[in-house]
Amino acid sequence: MNSIILFMKKNIKLVVVTILLSVSLFAFSAYEMSKASSHDPEKDKLLVELLMFVIERGHYDPASIDDNLSKGIYKDFIDALDPSRRYFLQSDIEKFSKYETLIDDQIKNKEFTFFDLAYSTYVKRMEESQKFYKDLLEEPFDYNVNETINTDYEKMPFAKNESELIERWRKQIKLSTLSSLTDKIKLQEEDKSEDKKIKSFEEIEKETRESSLKTLDDYFKFISELDRNDWFGVFVNAISSRFDPHTNYMAPDDKERFDVSISGKFEGIGARLQKKNDFTEITELISGGPAWRGKELEPGDVILKVAQGDGEPVDISGMRLDNVVKKIKGPKGTEVRLTVKKVDGTIKVISLIRDMVETEETYAKSSVVERNGVKYGIIYLPKFYIDFENKDSRDAGKDVAIEVERLKQQGVTGIIMDVRDNGGGSLKTAVDITGLFIEQGPVVQIKSAGTRKEVLYDRDAKVQWDGPLVVMVNNFSASASEILAAAIQDYKRGIVIGSKQTYGKGTVQNVIDLNQFVRGNTVGDLGALKTTTQKFYRINGGSTQLEGVSSDVVMPDRYSHINIGERDLENAMPWSKIDAAPYDTWKIQDNFEKALQNSKSRMALNEHFQLIEKNAKWTKERKDAAVYSLKFDEFKKEQEKIEAESKAFKPITDYQNELVFRAIPEDEQLMQKDESFKEKRERWFESLSKDIYVEEALNVLDDLQGKPVTKGDINLKKKVVKSK
């Protein structure tokens, strides 16, 4: 879940923390660090000392470093290494367990005996496991044996001996191949082509084992590329996450990815890569990037070598994907030369000048839909992005303001603000976006530990959009999304519709660069710590922590009965309440209560939503199912039963709202020039045309402006259950 980030120029506490850290760590000089190498224990000691110092002085409510914390770290790290209980033996766990209440002491003493033991044992068990699965996949499985497997691994004890461990591997692999086997046989039975080749059961069974072998080989190759530093990073995160779910250590690569995520841009060539065996393949070119502009690279091309400017080309076959990316990315204006095997098999050297690349799918986008002669606009915001390093760069607040203006130019009479699946981002942009829809006033309240609350205001009296407004949310709308939805709801500025409640993340994180606290650093990049420094509150005084934002109109979805949210995470901070900030509700909207009641009435009568609710309960049942038969006939019957039950829900995916969504003129021009951009927009429009939630949002907009909703608009009762 993306964090809500606030760089607190006004936060005196954080400034004090920074000064204290700088003074305290002055002793970590070049002299101390000169003896450290990339795998030197001194670097690990420094990293953990920095981590704990920052958390203890900067975290909103740091937990005590005691035996309870130690037990949590112990559990989380073992679970991270062996979540499916198929590597460690019970004897390993017995060796580990004596450290269960000692990890806190080891942290204080900068001593990592537990980590070293767990890591070295893990490496050994991984090497042994490769022989297990290779031996098991050499011979056919017997699918006539009446046996079952329980996939609730969390409750499963560790294997007592190697024989029991091999048996666990056998059942897990057998389940995988059995699932593939039934799928392949079903596809063959359904194949009606005249020239189809009929394969025997034995041939298909062999194919499933070969496929499983390749999958496991690929997985173990990926694991083998991880070094001790990678696993120590996992251990450090097991420590940090015990303070709360959003306090995380970011290794240097993770920090870079976070920066790209929050800003939506990076310096490079603009190509997405994936590993295929030992080779690196281009999967997508990002619109507007150097690779896209050059028109020489295309998806499917394989990169063989990388050279920096006039430098010697480096063979990248077998290299970790992260390292390949590091060689290809680089500062704007520099040259990179790629030796590429083209899709047609030819070898070509392609020179590219790196530039700033913007990941367009990160940014806000809008569409216009017309119904019964009335135009409406929808703005989809996937993240609350910002570039903290460049105040003149684009951010979510500026971009949404532009989209609102463009929709106004198209003559829309109502706007849907869609923040479904939006995990958050910048607090500042959430305040800015809220300000587009309200007169000046408070938007959110923030409190640091031991300090008075701070209220963030929209101080601009201008209202960019004063017409009907709907905010769409779901279970995955979090952080900044919840600030926006809560403010709109508290002001009664618009109607919030969607899942019963949003995610429930009411905390603020700061990203603190750990390198700034070490003088004469010779150990390399230490990464950063993202830690919880504040809690935020609605203007009515309530917290969104755990409880989220309850929708004004609740619409069922497939996750309605599944535990998703902050309230389901370990170590989540508690709900709390403070005094409300003074504010006045929106007075312009006359039809607010009527629109709410009308929508709730439609929900109660709508057979399609009733079907979605039924599907949600069925999805919960399927999620909780953990025991599977490993006998072919029984497994096949179980799958056929599940498939038969799922057919009842096919109308959900077949639904069409019969609305036509179109691009604004600025996007239409870009669609004519860029096929990739055109394809992405058209896919979005297609998904909107199948979205019953958007359709109901449009009904609410009708009600808000007093427009009578026609029978054709809302009478879904007769058409929803017909499968197309």
490 has catalytic annotation:
yes
Tokens 């072919």, residue?
632
Catalytic residue among 490, 691, 702, 703: 490
Q: In this structure, which amino acid lies at residue 106? A: Q
User: Do 252 and 525 touch, CB atoms closer than 8 A?
Assistant: yes
Catalytic residue among 43, 174, 505, 631: 505
Distance between CA 318 and CA 303 in Å, rounded? Answer: 11
Q: In this structure, which amino acid lies at residue 524? A: G
Distance between CA 212 and CA 132 in Å, rounded? Answer: 13
With H, G, I as helix, E, B as strand and everything else as coil, classify residue 458. strand
For residue 125, give Cα distances in angstroms to 34, 73, 605, 645.
34, 21, 57, 41
Distance between CA 722 and CA 629 in Å, rounded? Answer: 34
114: left (phi over 0), alpha (psi -120 to 50) or beta: alpha
- Chain centroid offset of residue 466 CA: 33
Token duo for residue 485: 């939805």
Q: In this structure, which amino acid lies at residue 190? A: E
Give kind and range of the element (H or E) at residue 606. none
Catalytic residue among 366, 479, 499, 551: 479
Distance between CA 174 and CA 259 in Å, rounded? Answer: 42
User: Do 144 and 635 touch, CB atoms closer than 8 A?
Assistant: no
Tokens 């709202």, residue?
657
User: Do 609 and 555 touch, CB atoms closer than 8 A?
Assistant: yes
Distance between CA 385 and CA 403 in Å, rounded? Answer: 15
161-184 core/surface letters (b: 16 or more CB in 10 A; e: else) = eeeebbebbbbbbbbbbbebbbeb
- Chain centroid offset of residue 439 CA: 33
User: Do 376 and 701 touch, CB atoms closer than 8 A?
Assistant: yes
Strands laid side by side in the 374-380 sheet: 553-554, 495-498, 469-473, 415-418, 374-380, 365-371, 661-662
Helix axes 90-97, 113-136, angle to 10 degrees: 170
505 has catalytic annotation:
yes
Token duo for residue 316: 């990248």
- Between CA 119 and CA 515, with CA 81 as vertex, the angle to 5 degrees is 70
Residues annotated as part of the active site: 479, 490, 505
